[in-house]
A and B are shown apart, each in its own frame.
Chain A
């Protein structure tokens, strides 16, 4: 069975809403608004032949609008082709339609994105934390969460249960910031506190002042 070209398929259905990203290392991605993403996934599965969802991942871009992105990686067994779909999710309303009804595998992937980024997948049958425990107050893969961790309670109620503390870092972590082009600004610096880390993340170019 010959499947139609997925890009044409998306362009025909969504027109200008489907923005094809520039090709990089032979990979193509298509950006779609979040209201359209589930529809696009269904279309690609039924008509485009993309029968497997390989991966689903959240990405955090602090300071940008929308702050979060969800990346869907689709695979078609019939034509051996991969396609990436990307959608943006704003911080103040972190909701996007679930695709777990389209591919069963999305269930755990979406739970992980919820756990790690706090993204809510509407229509998910069982949206709860998967790697961290129920009741954990933070979303660890958000960029404003420090790598040393934040104090919180353990999920046990016994009196001597203790709690989670931030890891002692002995002068580290020696954090290099992503996305700086000038070599002098890429050199890793120690940041002892979450506040320093926050400043680094928000504005990498002020690194010298820290």
Chain B
């Protein structure tokens, strides 16, 4: 047997570099990886099945648990998907607040992604710096929604509440400190010889392969494809903001690091602009058949009481039809395919999870590299198993 000198190694599902419960079976020839087969599904909770058994609004907290490093961004995408099905448009203030939520989530997600990536290749300090900054975003989310992590702040047709008084000053203070922190992280890694040698020309993904494999998000842009849903198909209020889409040239692990680093800076620009031009006005749709009426009205008036009863027991009455909505999440294109037969629950809700699709590129990236490069490649893909396994 020619293959008898090959060694099979099992990485995960309990391994620090797999960022959750991913199992990868590796075939090695000496130290060189010759075959990679990812084994997923350890975190499968049946989210799509659950969605078919509850109303649209009830499913919203479950979207927190998809990409649990950017729960607010998932909420926003899901809310837009349902709003597209309903054919409603939220007011401008709501759009801008949602943009702020998305971009803060992106900053938090990328900071954690960069930190754990650096830690995987041996730079422990960076992880602590990243976590320190990310903690500030979590505090802001707590000010906004009362929850740090699974915030479920977005509602279909609006938000859970308007901005709290401390939120805007808090975000401004955070943004003031962020450039220095990003520069610090940048200075620790970008020209760090160990980091560069461990990531440059490792796990190269060509433009053609990236498109063929359906890869999206920073990983696609690192391969040189200038494609960001915020620019290509502007949704929410993104068309009105001035920002750039960074992209790489080689598509290696180092490019993926640089793209995420730059995206943090661009997200900061978007949040700054959003705070400057935050419009006044309503922050949710004024339609009792979509958005819950104020509690005081429910207790004193007949019609809001009926609306509240109908929304809670039967949900929003959606028309029959099929829609797909996707948004640029920190990890890539998060999409929701909703097949509705009418009524308050979806007939089928398919989640197009970026981590699921991006992880499929793992064999293409890793074969031919050394076993020790595997951690760099896994770190550079920045996936989340909650989203991958759903």
**Distance, CA A27 to CA B310, complexed state (A):** 29
B346 contacts A by Cβ under 8 Å = yes
Residue A29 CB within 8 A of the other chain: yes
* In the assembled complex, B163 has its CB within 8 A of some CB on chain A: no
Q: Is the Cβ of B324 less than 8 Å from the Cβ of A73?
A: yes
Contact (Cβ within 8 A) A55 B225: no
Which one, A55, A84, A186, contacts B343 given CB within 8 A?
Answer: A186
Q: How large is the interface on A (under 10, 10 to 19, 20 to 34, 35 or more residues)?
A: 35 or more
B370 beta carbon closer than 8 Å to chain A: no
Contact of A108 among B46, B341, B357 (CB under 8 A): B357
Q: In the complex the two chains form, what is the Cα distance from A174 to B115 in whole Å?
A: 42
A59 vs B225: C-alpha distance in the bound complex, in angstroms?
32
* A25 neighbours in B (Cβ, 8 Å): 84-85, 87, 321, 323
- Would A105 and B214 count as touching, CB distance under 8 A? yes
- Please name all residues of chain A whose beta carbon is closer than 8 Å to the beta carbon of B41 when the two chains form the complex: 129-133
Residues in B201-253 with C-beta less than 8 Å from chain A: 209, 211-215, 225, 227, 232-233
Chain A CB within 10 Å, residue with most, of B52, B85, B232: B52
User: In the complex, A131 Cα to B344 Cα: how many Å?
Assistant: 28
Which residues of chain A in 153-191 are interfacial with respect to chain B, using CB atoms and an 8 Å cutoff? 173, 175-181, 183, 186-188
* Cross-chain contact of B48 among A55, A107, A141, A188 (Cβ < 8 A): A141
Quick one: closest B residue to A53, CB to CB? B214
Query: Contact between A27 and B323 (Cβ–Cβ < 8 Å)?
Result: yes
B343 touching A181 by the CB < 8 A rule?
Answer: yes
User: At the interface, is chain A mostly helix, strand, loop or mixed?
Assistant: loop
Is B32 on the interface with A (CB-CB < 8 A)?
A: no
Q: Known contacts A103-B212, A104-B213: does B44 contact A54 (CB below 8 Å)? A: no
Interface segment among B125-133, B145-153, B312-320: the answer is B312-320
Residues of B within 8 A of A105 (CB): 212-215, 357, 360
CB of B343 within 8 A of CB of A179, answer yes
Residue of A whose beta carbon sits closest to that of B353: A55
Q: B-facing mask of A55-71, CB < 8 A → 1, else 0?
A: 10101110000000001
Return the contact of B345 from the options A116, A130, A131, A176 (Cβ within 8 A). Answer: A176
Rounded to whole Å, the gap between the CB of A85 and the closest CB of chain B is 12
Complex formed: what's the CA distance from A135 to B320 in Å? 36
Alpha-carbon gap, A84 to B41, bound state (A)? 27
B78 to chain A, nearest CB (A): 15
Of A53, A57, A71, the most chain B CB neighbours within 10 A belong to A57
Assembly CA distance A173 to B345 (angstroms): 13
Task: Contacts A27-B323, A108-B360 given; indicate if A77 touches B213 (C-beta within 8 A).
Answer: no
Q: Would you give the shortest CB distance from B3 to chain A, in whole angstroms?
A: 18
Q: A188 contacts B44, CB within 8 Å?
A: no
In whole angstroms, what is the CA distance A107 to B37 when docked?
A: 13
Range, interface on chain B: 35 or more
Complex CA distance for A96 and B348, rounded to whole angstroms:
20
Is the CB–CB distance between A176 and B337 below 8 Å? no
Does B9 count as interface, using CB distance less than 8 angstroms? no
Rounded to whole Å, the gap between the CB of A55 and the closest CB of chain B is: 4
| Assembled-state Cα–Cα distance A60/B85 (Å) | 19
**Bound-complex Cα distance A57 to B357 (A):** 13
CB proximity of A192 to chain B, nearest CB, Å: 14
Collect the chain A residues with CB atoms within 8 Å of residue B49's CB.
140-141, 145, 147
Of the residues B40, B85, B337, B343, contact of A131 by C-beta under 8 Å? B40
Asked if B35 is at the interface of the complex by the 8 Å CB criterion, the answer is no
| B389 interface residue (CB < 8 Å to A) | yes
A59 to B352, CA, bound (A): 14
CA A183 to CA B321, docked complex, whole Å:
18
Partner of A27, one of B213, B322, B347: B322
A54 touches B214 (CB 8 A): yes
Contact yes or no, A55 B324, CB < 8 A: yes
> Which one of B52, B314, B315, B333 contacts A54 once the chains associate, using CB atoms below 8 Å?
B333
Looking at the assembled complex, report how far the CB atom of A47 sits from the nearest CB atom of chain B, in whole angstroms: 17
Alpha-carbon distance A145/B215, docked complex (angstroms): 32
Shortest beta-carbon distance, A169 to chain B, in Å? 11
Would you call B356 an interface residue if the criterion is a C-beta within 8 Å of the partner chain's C-beta atoms? yes
B363 to chain A, nearest CB (A): 10
Q: Are B324 and A52 in contact (CB under 8 A)?
A: no
Nearest CB in chain B to that of A105: its residue: B214
Tell me if B54 is interfacial: C-beta within 8 Å of chain A: yes
List the 4 closest pairs (A to B, CB-CB), nearest first.
A105-B214, A179-B341, A131-B41, A57-B350
Q: A173-B54, A186-B314 are in contact. List 11 more A-B contacts (CB 8 A).
A: A25-B84, A52-B211, A54-B335, A73-B324, A73-B352, A108-B360, A116-B48, A140-B49, A141-B48, A147-B53, A175-B53
Q: List residues of chain A with CB under 8 Å of any chain B CB.
A: 24-25, 27, 29, 51-55, 57, 59-61, 71, 73, 77, 80, 82, 84, 103-105, 107-108, 116, 129-133, 140-141, 143, 145, 147, 173, 175-181, 183, 186-188
Interchain residue pairs with CB less than 8 A apart (6)? A27-B324, A54-B326, A60-B348, A105-B214, A176-B315, A186-B314
